[in-house]
Homo-oligomer: A and B are copies of this chain.
Amino acid sequence: MGMSKKIYPKDNSALRVQPGVTQPSNLNPELSTGLHRFKKEKPSTEAFLKGIRAGNRSMLGRAITLIESELVGEKETARKLINLCLPYSGKSVRLGITGVPGAGKSTFIESFGLQMIARGKKVAVLAIDPSSTRTKGSILGDKTRMEALSTHPGAFVRPSATSGTLGGVARATRESIILCEAAGFDFIIVETVGVGQSETAVAQIVDFFLLLMLAGGGDELQGIKRGIMEMADLVVINKADGDNVRKAGLAKKEYENALHLFPALANGWAPQVITASAVFRTGLDAVWEQIETYVKLMRLNGWFDKHRQQQDLFLLRESINQSLSSAFFENEAIKGLVKGYKQQITEGKLSPYEAAQKLLEKYFAEMKK
């Protein structure tokens, strides 16, 4: 193996490491996945593709790490890999799940994911939290929360603590979906937290958007962003168990009334409200029924593919617009001017449009240099 050459000097008597006791695998998970063997030696894109196509989870995990990488050299490899995987992608159902902290997302995804596996699906979970500054340690904590699912041979659970731009997070997730699909996963769950702007980005890369709520009359919803309810294809009121069943039923009626006030969706779908208990695994069949009906109907009326095409063209436009905007605001000459203009604007001395025009003129002159 290539790595042994680096560890042991030519005269390998002096630094030979004493073999220790076996560590529990969670202390250094890379050892148990075999990842350490590739630390210095990168597989070729072809080797990546082969591993992914064979359903090798550690290879899939490494490929996603590659995609999330900010290193220029790795970006080029990632680009090639995506292109190789693209022909094998597109055949899954992509499910977005969001909800406030405390709604029981992890437990719900674990219960629902295991149910999907029991139905013969291969389930991948991509958990994203763009605002996160979590260490690798707490990501592992997340994995532990879905222990039964993440250790199941039919599942793949991948938490991402990316801290990039919203566009960057959406891109990494969208490309991770391509890789997971190429690896044969046919049910992909994208989980977000519900408090930031990531939901709008995630809605653009999934087929069906599920909003996980709690009973309790509105107070628990303070944390959820306005506009998210209107993005939902299904509202699930979780923790409808024990003493909470009656309250969950009341909340269901409230949400039904609220959804009734929203205009119909363009695709003809009328979002429903369902009560469920992830812990007691009740209501999960009804959730699947909703998703299944949706997919069938949307395939029948042509919306399913049309929606994905619209999403991709939207991502093209968005990706370009975000790059243009970054290039502008990160331009050194512009940076030097913006602060002063902003000051004049907030003091009411300069119109924002006038400031925009001046900055644009400066920028386009700079670009010619």
Q: Does A324 contact B (CB under 8 A)?
A: yes
Shortest distance between the CB of A117 and any CB in chain B (Å)? 27
Number of interface residues of A (CB under 8 A): 62
A351 within 8 A of B: yes
Contact of A346 among B264, B312, B324 (CB under 8 A): B312
Cβ proximity bits A57-93 to B, threshold 8 Å, 1 near / 0 not: 0000000000000000000000100110011011000
Q: Which of B221, B230, B261 contacts A221 (CB 8 A)?
A: B261
Q: How many copies does the complex hold?
A: 2
Residues in chain B near residue A178, CB distance under 8 A: 351
Q: Distance in Å from the Cβ of A217 to the closest Cβ of chain B?
A: 8
Query: Judging by beta carbons under 8 Å apart, are B86 and A349 in contact?
Result: yes
**A227 with B230, Cβ < 8 A, contacts A309-B346, A315-B352, A349-B86 known:** yes
Judge whether A348 is part of the interface by a CB distance below 8 angstroms.
Answer: yes
Give residues 239-263 of A contacting B (CB, 8 Å): 254-255, 257-258, 260-263
Q: Which residues in B have their C-beta under 8 angstroms from that of A264?
A: 222
* Contact call B263/A254, Cβ cutoff below 8 A: no
**CA–CA, A192 to B175, complex, Å?**
39
Is the CB–CB distance between B226 and A262 below 8 Å? yes
CB distance from A219 to the nearest CB of B (A): 10
Q: Given B90, B262, B324, B346, which contacts A328 in the complex, CB threshold below 8 Å?
A: B324
* Inter-chain contacts of A40 with B (CB < 8 A): none
24 A-B pairs (CB sep. < 8 Å): A79-B354, A79-B357, A82-B353, A83-B351, A83-B354, A86-B351, A87-B349, A221-B261, A226-B230, A226-B263, A229-B261, A230-B230, A257-B258, A258-B261, A313-B346, A313-B352, A316-B352, A316-B356, A319-B352, A321-B324, A324-B328, A327-B364, A367-B368, A368-B368
